[in-house]
């Protein structure tokens, strides 16, 4: 069965400093992995996705994530946080056993301090 763990429920960084949001997954088969961002009272926006191509995935707004199979991780990073990055971030996993379903992680709330 698939599962997603986001190790930090809340992360706080200063503006201009690096961001690291951690995600670990469990999947029996080659997974597809996604990161979504959700601003307050808004829908989900796809930041980036891993689909068995390059292990280092670049997304929008300067975010990137690296798929590490040996560590079953897909951590999200950004070199320099911006105030507008403050939001909820969800790591999502899917594989071919899921019959179209995706599994959401519990989310990480990112705060950016001016």
Partner 1 sequence: GAVVSQHPSWVICKSGTSVKIECRSLDFQATTMFWYRQFPKQSLMLMATSNEGSKATYEQGVEKDKFLINHASLTLSTLTVTSAHPEDSSFYICSARQRGPSSYNEQFFGPGTRLTVL
CB closer to partner 1 out of 72 and 98: 98
Token pair in block for residue 66: 């690296």
Per CB under 8 A, the list member of 49, 64, 66, 72 interacting with partner 1 is: 49
- Residue 27 found at the interface with partner 1 (CB under 8 A): no
Q: Does 42 bind partner 1 (CB under 8 A)?
A: yes
Chain-centre distance for alpha carbon 63 = 9
Residues 90, 109: Cα–Cα separation, whole Å: 9
Contact 37/18 with Cβ under 8 angstroms? no
Q: How far is the CB of 66 from partner 1 (least distance, A)?
A: 17
Give me Rg for the CA atoms of the chain.
14
Q: How near is the Cβ of 101 to partner 1 at its closest, in Å?
A: 6
Given 94, 111, 113, 114, the residue binding partner 1 (CB under 8 A): 94
Q: At which residue do the structure tokens 């069965």 appear?
A: 1
Instruction: Single out the residue of 26, 52, 55, 80 in contact with partner 1 (rule: CB under 8 A).
Output: 52
Which residues contact partner 1 (rule: CB under 8 A)? 32, 34, 36, 41-44, 46, 49, 51-52, 90, 94, 98, 100-102, 104-107
């Amino acid at each position: 069965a698939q599962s997603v763990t986001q190790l930090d429920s809340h992360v706080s960084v200063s503006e201009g400093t690096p961001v690291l949001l951690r995600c670990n997954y469990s999947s029996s088969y080659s997974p597809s992995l996604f990161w979504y961002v959700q601003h307050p009272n808004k829908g989900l926006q796809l930041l980036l996705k891993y689909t068995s191509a390059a292990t280092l995935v670049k997304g929008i707004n300067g975010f990137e994530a690296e798929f590490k199979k040996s560590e079953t991780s897909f951590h999200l990073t950004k070199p320099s946080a911006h105030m507008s990055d403050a939001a909820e971030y969800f790591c999502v996993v899917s594989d071919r056993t899921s019959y179209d379903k995706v599994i959401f992680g519990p989310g990480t709330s990112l705060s950016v301090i001016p």
